[in-house]
Amino acid sequence: MPADAARPATAARTALRRLAIVALACLLGVAGAAIAADPVDTVGNVLKQDYSPVLRNFVALSLLSLIPVMLIGMTAFTRIVIVLSLLRHALGLPQTPPNSVIITLSICLTYFTMAPVIDEVNKVAIGPYMAEQIDTREALDRGAVPLRQFMIRQTRESDLRAVLEMARAPAPKTIDDIAMRHLAPAFLLSELKTAFQIGFVIFLPFLMIDLVVGAVLMSLGMIMVPPATISLPLKILLFVLIDGWVLVSRALLSSYWS
């Protein structure tokens, strides 16, 4: 395989590996916090020891099922995959590119979007934890801060207020008082709303092409010709000429970085 062709595949594998490492480290930390204990001896002194590594590994592997939930509900993946799916429908190609390609591209763009957060979590939490400089609980507290800041920046106040009303919880006085059980659904609702807003804007130019083609066919008396037969190649040609995939990817990334 040529070097130029191997670079995208290598970059994608690297992105997936780093996302998996971060998620696995967080889950292992949760498992450690859940099953770790400080037993007391007969004299009353606290003994710093944990349960069997076999039990810890069993709980950690059981919690691996939370990785998809974390990827969907606490990162930029939801917005990106919805916008790319709506773009596919706007082109008139509901099955092209296939779902596997859309999801893979969404994961890669999610990695680019979350890279600052990942680097910060690795710097303040995962790195010191792996070097045994801090314990599990402190690593979780440190690692949650960059992720919370990212989620709060992307969450609408109206969505957070709606979640608090549904949960019948009092309004937090400060940002630090927002519980993660309230922040996560509010963040996901905000991502859904933003994704559909972006998708609506993407639909408009393709809708105009369909309307123009339909009007031209009717004026020519070609009523029996489906407009999609003419508009589909035109939309694909226009999308390729303007380098549409790159433009949409840049717009998605800039929506988080702006």
Tally of CB atoms within 10 A around 114: 24
Does the pLDDT value for residue 247 go beyond 80?
yes
Average pLDDT over residues 223-227: 76
Total number of domains constituting the chain: 1
42 or 209: which leads in pLDDT: 209
- Residue 74 belongs to domain spanning: 3-257
Question: Among 160, 121, 118, 116, which Cα is nearest to 141's?
Answer: 121
Does the pLDDT value for residue 213 go beyond 80?
yes
Which range of 135-139, 197-201, 210-214, 228-232 scores highest in mean pLDDT? It is 197-201
Q: Residue 37 has what pLDDT?
A: 41
Average pLDDT over residues 202-228: 82
Average pLDDT over residues 102-125: 87
Q: Residue 83 has what pLDDT?
A: 92
Cα dihedral sign, 61-66-71-75:
negative
Q: Residue 221 has what pLDDT?
A: 77
Report H helices in the chain. Answer: 3-35, 53-62, 67-73, 77-90, 99-121, 127-130, 136-153, 157-167, 180-219, 227-241, 244-257
Q: Residue 28 has what pLDDT?
A: 44
Q: How confident is the model at residue 84 (pLDDT cuts 50, 70, 90)?
A: very high
Q: Residue 25 has what pLDDT?
A: 47
Does the pLDDT value for residue 147 go beyond 50?
yes
174 or 8: which leads in pLDDT: 174
Contacts of 152 (CB under 8 A, 6+ apart): 175, 178, 183
Question: Whole-angstrom Cα distance, residue 132 to residue 44?
Answer: 26
Q: Which of 1-10, 101-110, 127-136 has the lowest mean pLDDT?
A: 1-10
pLDDT digits (tens, 9 = 90+) for 118-127: 888 888 887 8
Question: Whole-angstrom Cα distance, residue 93 to residue 215?
Answer: 22
pLDDT digits (tens, 9 = 90+) for 51-73: 456 665 666 677 677 777 777 88
Q: Residue 82 has what pLDDT?
A: 92
Q: Residue 43 has what pLDDT?
A: 43
Mean pLDDT for the chain?
76
